[in-house]
Amino acid sequence: MTDTPRAGQATSALSAQYAPGEVEQRRYEQWVADGLFKADAESDKPPFSIVLPPPNVTGSLHIGHALDHSIQDALTRRKRMQGYEALWLPGMDHAGIATQNVVERQLAGAGQSRHDLGREPFVERVWQWKAESGGKILGQMTRLGDSVDWSRERFTMDEGLSRAVITIFKRLYDDGLIYRAERIINWCPRCLTALSDIEVEHSDDDGELVSIRYGDGDNAIVVATTRAETMLGDTAVAVHPDDERYQHLIGTEVELPLTGRRIPIVADTHVDPAFGTGAVKVTPAHDPNDFEIGQRHDLPSLTVMDEHGVITAHGPFLGLDRFEARPAVVAALREEGRIVAEKRPYVHAVGHCSRCGTTVEPRLSLQWFVRTEPLAKAAGDAVRDGRVRVEPPELTKRYFGWVDNMHDWCISRQLWWGHRIPVWYGPNGEVVCVGPDEAAPTGDGWVQDADVLDTWFSSALWPFSTLGWPDRTPDLAKFYPTSVLVTGYDILFFWVARMMMFGLYAMEGRQPFDVVMLHGMVRDQYGKKMSKSFGNVVDPLDWIERFGADATRFTLLRGANPGADVPVSEEWVQGARNFANKLWNATRYGLSGGATVEGDLPSGDGRDGLSTVDRWILSRLQHVIGEVDQQFEAFELAKVCDTLYHFAWDDVCDWYLELTKPVLAGDDEAAKARTRRVLGHVLDNLHRLLHPIMPFVTEELWTTLTGRPTLLRSEWPAADKELVDDAAEREVASLQQVVTEVRRFRADQGVKPAQRVVARLEGLDAAGLTAHEGLIRSLARLDPNDEDFTATAKLAVGVGVTVELDTRGTIDVAAERARLTKDKAAAEKEATQCRAKLGNAAFTDKAPEAVVAKIKDRLEKAEADLVRIDRQLEALQ
C-alpha cells in the first residue's frame, strides 16, 4: 500500500482528548479487513519472519505474554515499514496435561471420568471443548494490537502439524535416535503421567531430615534422608572410594532395617564425602542419581511405590500413601533404636507438578526417549559457528552449559490428549513404527502404544512445521530460517534447545532462527517477582481497558532490554498514558497551526531558507533516527522508548512547538509556510518512529495529519546526513540554557509561570543569540526594560549572557533573602551533623549499612540545598 493522500480527508478531525477505547478496536478491525498483516510468500521483498511462541490453548493473556508479544510486534511492524515481507505467524499449543485436566474436571463435575467415556469419545470431547472454550488468548491478542497473520494461524494438533510430528518421530526412530527403556522420570501421582523438567516447579518446603543407622558395631553406617519411606527400596549404601572412614566397609554387606535384607556397601565417586555423613542410601528405582549408581554397580531396582504413590512393598506399610508411610517408617525405626538424629523442620527444594501442585515422585518407568547427544552437539555447534546469535551474548554460556550436558529426553506421556506414539506391538513381540504415509499393521493381537508425546515434542517443530514441513512449501522456502525468536530466558533450555535440535536435524543443518532474543521476567516496581500470594500480579487486560494498549505496551517495552528483568507499576502506565495524550495534543497543535506533509522539505538557511530553530529540530531528528535504528538492531527496546520519549516530550513538545508559536502567530507568510512544512515533517517522522511501540495512537494521528490510508504500511524514516546541523544545535542549546536558567530562578522565587517580569538581557550578541531575543523573552515571560527599570536580581548563565530582572512587585527581595538565609543556616547545620557522623569510625563501623547509607543521602541533599540557596542569594542582589 502506497502513501497516497485520500481525497477529502479532514485534517483536523481529532477530538479534544485521546480516548483509546474509541480508536483501538476500530483501527485493529480495519487493519485485519484490509489484509495489512498478511505476508506474501511470492513477494520479491527480503523476508523477515517470527513464529509466535504458541500459548497454551487453555491460557489467557498474562503480563509475560504482553511483554513477549509487544517485543515481537514492535520488531515486525518496523521491518514491515522497512520494506521487508514480514510474517508474524500465530498459533496455539494443545497443552496435553493442562487441557486434559480441564476436561477431566468438567467430567468429574458430572460424576464421570475419562474412563467412563473411553479414549476416542474423550478425545472428541476435548476437541469440542477447544472449539467452544479454548484459545480465548487469541482474541485477547487483538486487544494488545498484535499484527499477526491470522490467515496462517496454526494449532499443534492440526492435521498438517500432526503429520510433521509423525514424520520426524519415524525419521528419528529409524536413525536410532528414539528408543524405549526403563529410566527414572518425573512422575505426577495425581495426573498419572511423566512430566518434563519444565512441568516441574520447585519450592522450598518444610520437611524432616532423619539420620538412620544401618548395621551395628564397627560395621554400622549412618545415612540421612528426607524420604524415609524410600529406604524400603534400598539396594546398596554408597561411599566415596577415597573416604578413609569407610575403607573397611567397602565390599561388605549391611542389614537394611525393617526388611531383613542385606545390601552391599559400594564405592562410587558420585558421593560427596564432605556432605552429611559421607554415606548415601541407594534406591535405584526412586532417585535419578541412585539409578545411575545402580547402573554402574549392577544393582537391582526395587519399585516400592505404585503410580498413585502408594507403598507396594510387602510388610506393615503395604497400602499406605507415601506421606502416610513416611512418619510410620520413622516411628518403626525409632522403636528399633535406628534413628540417630532428626532435624525438623528441614527446608529443602521439592518439585511439584505445575498443573495440579502435587509433589512429584522420581519413579522408574518404561518410557520413550530421544537420544540427545548428537542432536545437542549440533545445537551447540550452530551457536559456536555463528549461524545463530544469542542476545544478550552473556547468556550463551548458560546455553552451552545445558546443551553440552543434556540428558536423554523423556518424550512419552500417559495421557489421551496429544499426538499418540506411532508404534504398534505385535502378538509375537514385534515392534513397528509407522510413518504418516504408511499403513498400520492390522490383525489379531496388534495394538498401538497407549502413550502420547510430550507437548514440547510437537512445539519443537514449530518454526518449520507451521510453514508446511515436511512438504516443500513456498512459505518454507521464503520464511525459513525464521529471523528471530523472542522468548523469556527461563525457557532457553526447555524450548529453544529443543527447537534447535529438531530444526537442524529436519532441515539438513539449517537453523530454525538466526537470532534468539531473550528477555527477562516482568516484576513489580520493587524488583519483586509477581505472585498471587504477594498480591502484585498485573492483569494486562485491565491496564488496556483503563489506560489503553499503547500505554500498556510502552510501559512494558520501556524496560525491555535483552536478558534484563522488566519492572512495571501502575504509576508508570499512567505516565505512558500521559505520553500518548502529549502526542495527541502536539498533533492537534500542529494541525491547528497548518502543519503539512505536502511538498518538498525546505532547505538552506538565512532569509530565504530555514530558520535556526527549524534546522535544529531537523538535525535532532536525524540523530534520533540513527540512534533508534541502532537500538532496534541491538534489540534494546527500552533504549528505543527512552530515546523517542525524550525527543517527543523534550525536544518537540517542550521546545520546538513553543518556538514555533511566535513564527506561526507572526506576519511573515513565507516563514510560516517553511515552519508548517518542517512541523509536518517532524510530526510525520515522529509518528513513524513510534508506531512499532504505540501503533494505535500513531495510526490515528498520522492518518489525520497526512490524509493517507495507513501508517502501518508507510516507509520507515531514514536519516539524512545533509540535515545534520551542528551549528544550529549549538545555537539552540545556548538559547535553551538561557531560558532554563531564567525559568529555574522564577520557580525558585515562587513567581507564577504566567506572570511577566521586566528584564534586561546583556551578552546576546557575543553568544550569537541576538536574533533570538524575542524567542527568549517569549519563552521566559520577560518584558523589555524601560526607564523605570531597576535591577533587583541578576543571573549569569553559562553562555556569557547576563539577565537582570526587576522583581519589584513580584518578589519581596528583603523577605526572600531573609528566608533563604534561614534555610541556608539549617542546611549548613544538617551538613555539619552528617559529616560528623560519617567521620566517626565508631559510628560507621558499628551502624547497620542501611543507616549509614541514609546519613550519606541526607548529606548529599544538604549539600545540594546549599548550592541551590547560594545561587538564589547571589541572584538576589
**Alpha carbon distances (Å) from 832 to 706, 837, 840, 859, 864:** 61, 9, 12, 8, 14
Buried b (16+ CB within 10 A) or exposed e, 179-195: ebeebbbbbbbebebbb
**Selection from 416, 486, 474, 402 nearest residue 146 by Cα:** 486
In sign, the C-alpha dihedral spanning 752, 756, 760, 761 is positive
* Matching residue, cell 481529532: 14
Q: How far apart are CA 320 and CA 250, in angstroms?
A: 34
Find out whether 259 and 212 touch, Cβ atoms under 8 Å: no
C-alpha to C-alpha distance for 698 and 173, rounded to whole angstroms: 52
What SS3 string covers 637-679?
HHHHHHHHHHHHHHHHHHHHHHHHHHHHCCCCHHHHHHHHHHH
Q: Pairing between strand 522-524 and 513-519?
A: unpaired
Query: Cα separation of 507 and 142, whole Å?
Result: 32
Half-sphere exposure of 504 (CA within 13 A, CB side): 21
Q: Confirm if 705 and 595 have CB atoms less than 8 A apart.
A: yes
Cα distance between residue 285 and residue 303, in whole Å:
5
| Distance (Å, whole) CA 572 – CA 554 | 9
Return the residue matching grid coordinates 510530526. 683
Burial status of residue 738 (CB atoms within 10 A of its CB: 0-12, 13-18, 19 or more): buried
The β-bridge relationship of strands 339-353 and 389-391 is unpaired
φ/ψ of 589, rounded to 5, equals -60, -45
Q: Is 343 annotated as a binding residue?
A: no
Angle value at C-alpha 73, between 68 and 75, nearest 5 degrees: 100
* Interatomic CA distance for residues 641 and 651, integer angstroms: 15
| CA-based nearest residue to 332, from 311, 302, 363, 308 | 311
Phi/psi region, residue 501 (left: phi>0; alpha: psi -120 to 50; beta: rest), is alpha
CA 303/CA 312 separation, integer angstroms? 8
Beta-bridge partner residues of 210: 225, 342
Contacts of 429 (CB under 8 A, 6+ apart): none
Contact 290, 283 (CB under 8 A): yes
Start-to-end CA span in the chain (Å): 65
Q: Are 521 and 87 in contact (CB under 8 A)?
A: no
CB count in 10 Å sphere of residue 712: 23
- Asked if 362 and 194 count as a contact pair (C-beta separation under 8 A), the reply is no
Pairing of strands 236-239, 262-267: parallel
Q: How far is CA 15 from CA 22, 30, 831, in A?
A: 11, 20, 52
Burial of 717-737, coded b for 16+ CB within 10 Å and e otherwise, reads bebeeebbbeebbebbebbbb
Cα–Cα dist 834/828, whole Å:
10
Annotated binding site: 532
Annotated binding site for ATP: 532
